[in-house]
Amino acid sequence: MFFVFPLGAVTAAEVSPEAIKGAKTVSATEAKALFDKGVLFVDVRKNSDWEAGRIPGAEHLELKKVYTETSLVDLAPKIEELVIYCNGPKCMRSSKACAKAVNWGFKKVYYFRDGFPAWQAASYPVE
């Protein structure tokens, strides 16, 4: 006898993928180098998380309410580099946002999977 489980019950749905096809996964150190270079950071967390603290200069496009192809293009042309982050590996928002950006034709998408918690842990600037 065997059991059939819904896909979500078998996989660890609460853990984001390590890579997104078409995007480059970056560590906190690599994200900081991109930050120092002036690359656009896009925060896709909930409004309350954004208000509690963020990477300086980041733009906020809440994934479920504001993040669209148009809202992203309004921030950067599709050929420009951008770093997308959320609340780390247990948050699915940045992985979903990166996949959408790649699908929309953005060419230089950086997936900062470890996100804001890793940024803070490295003692990088926050606002």
> Which is more confidently placed, 113 or 12?
113
The pLDDT tens digits of the residues spanning 33-67 come to 999 999 999 999 999 999 999 999 999 999 999 99
- pLDDT of amino acid 3: 41
Q: Is the pLDDT of residue 113 over 80?
A: yes
Q: 19-121 has which CATH code?
A: 3.40.250.10
63 to 4, 72, 100: CA distances (angstroms): 32, 11, 10
Query: Cβ distance 115 to 83 under 8 Å?
Result: no
**69 CB-near residues (< 8 Å, 6+ apart):** 100, 104
- pLDDT of amino acid 109: 98
pLDDT over 70 for what percent of the chain? 90
36 to 24, 42, 101, 113, 121: CA distances (angstroms): 18, 15, 22, 18, 17
Query: Cβ distance 32 to 120 under 8 Å?
Result: no
- pLDDT of amino acid 14: 78
pLDDT over 90 for what percent of the chain? 88
- pLDDT of amino acid 32: 98
Other beta carbons within 10 angstroms of residue 27's beta carbon come to 13
The CA distance from 33 to 64, in Å, is 28
Nearest Cα neighbor of 114 from 13, 15, 21, 11 is: 15
